[in-house]
Amino acid sequence: MKKTTILIGLLISSFISFSQWQYGESENKFDDFQFKYASITGSGDFPYNSPGFAVRIIENKDAEFMLLSIAYTLVGSTIDLYVDNGKVYSFGLTVSDDHQTVWIDVAGYKDDILDILRNGNKLNVRIKGSNGSNIYTFPLNGSTAAINKVLKL
C-alpha cells in the first residue's frame, strides 16, 4: 500500500511539473541577442506528441508567438487558435528552415492573443497546409504568471 501511494504521488507530481508554464531568460550567442520566454509543452498526435508553445520577447521588442517540435509545416500553411472563449483566430505563419518551428503572424492582434492566453483554460492549435492538418493542445493553467513575468507586468 505504501509503495502504491508513493508511486501515485510520483506520477501526479511528474504530470504537474510536465504541464506547467515555464519562464526564463536566455541568449542566442550566434546572433548576439538576449530574450525572455514563457513556454509550455502540450500534446498532439503521434509522433508529434510533445509540441511546445512559447511567447518570446527579444530585447524589449514586441512579443512573438511560436510553436516548436511540431510536424513538418509547409510555407503557405495557416494556423487557427481556439481558446475556450468560443472564438477562432486564424493567422499566417513564418516557417523555420527545418519546417518544425513556426512563428505566428499575429499582426495587430498581439494584445488580444496575450489576453486569451492569460484568461483561458486550454489552447487548441490547428495548422493547415497542402500536406494536411495537425492539431495541438496546450494547457493554460499558470500562463498568466509566466507571461506577465516575461512582459514585466
Pairing of strands 33-41, 52-58: antiparallel
pLDDT at 9 over 50: no
- Do 109 and 89 contact (CB within 8 A), yes or no? yes
Give the CA dihedral 93, 76, 102, 115, nearest 10 degrees: 20
Q: Over pLDDT 70: what percentage of the chain?
A: 86
Among the residue ranges 18-22, 80-84, 109-113, the one predicted with the least confidence is 18-22
